[in-house]
Structure 1
Amino acid sequence: MPSSASESKEQAAQDGSPKKAKRRKRRAGYSAPTPPSRFKRALLSMARDPSMRTEAGRELLQLLISHSSLTERRWRRIIDCVPAHRAPTMAKAAEACAHQWLMVAEELSQREAQ
């Protein structure tokens, strides 16, 4: 199994078209984390909302905006820099962050439903 993006590209070149490489990524569970541009615009609009100008509101928006600005290519470069011996720990940390974001999303969605 390739351990880097360059090895993945080399293997894709040997295996066939780039489309096959993209399908392998999808099957491996990787999907682009970049939200649609309208989502980024909504975040920037919320940053101008006076009700979000609290310390916690600014912090939440900064986190969301920073994540929303990363492209799939940038995420790939970030992921590829993690050495193999650190990948399991990094994966657990990413899962923990994802879990926290899901809790935030669920709580906010419930608040909206009320």
Structure 2
Amino acid sequence: MNKARIIKGLIIALLLGVFFFVINVNQYGVSPIALATKSIMVAVVFAVLYILTFSILSSDERKQLFGPPLLIGLIIGLLAGILFNQPLIGCLTGIVLGIAVGWIRYRMQRRD
């Protein structure tokens, strides 16, 4: 795995976690500890998805296998998330669904 990709993902995730905390600290009556926990969870999930997604899409062959299912899964996940008033969860579900479908396609192609 590319070390620069991991570092970039961790920096972006850290900034996202801080940004999430700062935005939500004044909007909700939630305790700062609970909000910090949610911010850490958001940062960790983003870092894992960032590193996983861009590691998968590092070669042209994998871009062709994982790209379309990832895009379709993301769109379906966002639409489902909007339907249930949880677009972030829908987005994450769509990414996981797209990666799963791409992995199945990769395994089927490798088996042939």
Bin of the TM-score, shorter chain as denominator length: 0.3 to 0.5
> TM-score normalised to the size of structure 2?
0.33
> TM-score normalised to the size of structure 1?
0.33
Higher relative contact order (CA 8 A, sep 6+): 1
